[in-house]
């Protein structure tokens, strides 16, 4: 598995030879998972049924964090090479930052996916 690599600021960067950096195998799978979770429902023009319904579940009205967890787990399990979500936890800070941490089992091994929405 290959994907464009991202640095700590979630930006693309150049490798030592001046080419766009690539991630392979487990790291590529982790980065694909982070991208999938950060995609909002109806954000993609041609695939409006894909993405996390974070406005509906987290930011509008009464938050439903249990359903948000289920939605994120489901999205993670659709990513290529992800076999299972082994563990999932989340936290809400100041009512405006939803952060998650997921341990995933992939065909490349065990990895950790974490970020905030």
Q: Which domains does the chain have, with CATH numbers?
A: 2-116 (3.10.450.40)
**Which residues are CB-neighbours of 25 under 8 A, at least 6 positions away?**
1, 108
CB 58 within 8 A of CB 117: yes
pLDDT > 90 fraction of the chain, expressed in percent and rounded: 56
Q: How many whole angstroms from its chain centre is CA 17?
A: 29
The whole-number average pLDDT for the span 60-79 is 90
Alpha-carbon gap, residue 67 to 82, rounded angstroms: 21
Question: If you average pLDDT over every residue of the chain, what do you get?
Answer: 88
pLDDT of 78 higher than 90: yes
For 14-58, what is each residue's pLDDT tens digit?
A: 999 999 999 999 999 999 999 888 887 766 677 767 778 887 888
Contact partners, residue 56, CB within 8 Å, separation at least 6: 41
Residues 95-107 have pLDDT tens digits of 778 899 999 999 9
Concatenate the DSSP letters of all residues of the chain into one string.
Answer: -EEE-B-TTS-B-B-TTSSBPEEEHHHHHHHHHHHHHHSBTT-SSS-TT-SB-HIIIIISSS--HHHHHHHHHHHHHHSTTEEEEEEEEEEEETTTEEEEEEEEEETTEEEEEEEE-
pLDDT of residue 117: 59
**pLDDT value, residue 89:** 95
Instruction: Please indicate, yes or no, whether the overall pTM of this predicted structure exceeds 0.85.
Output: no
pLDDT of residue 77: 95
């Amino acid at each position: 598995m290959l994907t464009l690599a991202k640095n700590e600021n979630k930006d693309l960067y150049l490798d030592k030879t001046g080419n766009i950096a690539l991630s392979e195998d487990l790291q590529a799978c982790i980065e694909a998972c982070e991208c999938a979770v950060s995609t909002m429902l109806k954000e993609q023009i041609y695939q409006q049924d894909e993405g996390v319904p974070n406005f509906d579940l987290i930011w509008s009205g009464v938050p439903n964090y249990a359903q948000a967890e289920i939605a994120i787990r489901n999205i993670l399990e659709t990513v290529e090479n992800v076999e299972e979500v082994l563990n999932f936890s989340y936290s809400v800070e100041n009512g405006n930052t939803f952060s998650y941490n997921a341990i995933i089992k992939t065909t490349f091994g065990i990895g950790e996916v974490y970020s905030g929405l």
